[in-house]
Structure 1
Amino acid sequence: MKEDVNKNTENIASLTEKADKNTENIAKLTENVSKLLKETERLRGRDVELRTVLMLREWFRRHAPDYEVFMWDGTGADLLVEGKGILASIEITIKPKAEDIRQIKSGIGAIMDDWGRKPDLLIVYSRSGIIPKKVAEIAEKMGVKLARRPADIKRMLNLQSSSH
């Protein structure tokens, strides 16, 4: 019987060791899955930005040829639109967040340094068309415009150029 107890004790110790190893492996796997999910979300965002830039470039070419659309790979914006003496900095997002508003504001200096002038308009473009109320309030306080459609951007540019 003592031999059986010793054998069971050894088996329990072995199982405990394996359970500890499995717990460690599960923790590593969970961490890796989390990293992959974050990277997938980042790539999805970049894909949306790229497709939206291409769509806006084509839309402006057809419907607002007085404005040129430039993909911006610098800080604080995804897109610059210039024409009629106006420069607009545009951040593209699926659904705007407060961070998008802060990001476009903080990118003004980088655009000034690299483009040679300060943007006249700061716009966050909601690809989904959804603009949370809290984000709209923050944007208004910070002087950032929100757009749901390309025509919204054109209207904002035209208003700015007529008051310029």
Structure 2
Amino acid sequence: MMEEALKKAEDVVLEAIRRGNFEEAGRIVFRDVFKPLLDLIFHIEKEVDRNTENIARLTEKVDKNTENIAKLTEKVDKNTENIDKLTENVKKLLGETGRLRGRDVEFRTGLTLQGWFRKNAPDYEVFIWDGTEADILIEGRGILASIDIAIKPKIEDVRQLKNGIGVIEENWGRKPDLLIIYSRSGIIPKRVADFADRMGIKIVRKPAEIRKILDESK
């Protein structure tokens, strides 16, 4: 459409120039060529202004959304940090609870063994040991045994009992002759039993087994 209009305007202008009517040719050029172009440019400028305004509004919304997302992210990070701290505290509490439960089982089992030996093997005296090196000491007939009580023996129990020899010797006045682990549950994992055997430590399930080891060591 634009090319066709320009072609017609060109023909009219040339005809006016041939007739020597330059004023009319100028009017035709302005009316049929420049004015439509100026109108088009004006229209484009208005559209650009409108689009620029819309883009500005959109940019403002994006900035606000970005700010809100940043605030939300900050809150999420703080909540995550709080959850991590809470999880860590719960783990510590569970660990401490487990440790205390284990100590309670060890103490009550120690009292049970103390009562059993008092009744069935009075030649041996059972002492509750307050330390990580052992749970009870059994002494009698010239023998001193260091005993660790475990619900289910672990490699660490073997190492702990072995490493505690020096502390017991220093505090009791003599070195233990026997190292024994008493399995409260009766479960003895094979790898733990093999490791204990290499360390010279016996693992038993019953009080009578402890007495037998003591009797055979005289």
Q: CA deviation at 1:75?
A: 4.6
Structure 2 residue aligned with 1:53: 110
Q: Counterparts of 1:28 and 1:103 in 2: how far apart (Å)?
A: 31
Structure 1, gaps ≥5 residues long:
none
Map of 1:136-155 to 2, 5 A cutoff? Answer: 136-155=193-212
**In percent, how many aligned pairs have the same letter?**
69
Match of 2:90 among 5, 20, 33: 33
**Partner-residue secondary structure (3-state), 1:49:** helix
One-letter code of the match for 1:111? I
Measure the CA separation in 2 of the matches of 1:147 and 1:75: 19
* Aligned mates of 1:74, 1:40 — CA distance in 2: 18
Map of 1:1-150 to 2, 5 A cutoff? 1-2=57-58, 3-150=60-207
How far, CA to CA, are the matches of 1:53 and 1:75 in structure 2? 14
The separation in 2 between residues aligned to 1:25 and 1:58, in whole angstroms, is: 49
Secondary structure of the residue aligned to 1:60 is: helix
Looking at structure 1, the residues matched to 67 and 156 of structure 2 have their Cα atoms a distance apart, in angstroms, of: 56
Could you tell me the TM-score, scaled by structure 1's length? 0.93
Question: What secondary structure is seen at the aligned counterpart in 1 of 2:175?
Answer: coil
The structure where helix makes up a greater share of residues is 2
AA aligned opposite 1:141 = R
Corresponding residue number in structure 2 for 1:159? 216
Q: Report what 2:4 is aligned to.
A: none
Q: Secondary structure at the match of 1:118?
A: coil
- TM-score, normalised to structure 2, is 0.71
Q: Aligned pair count? A: 161
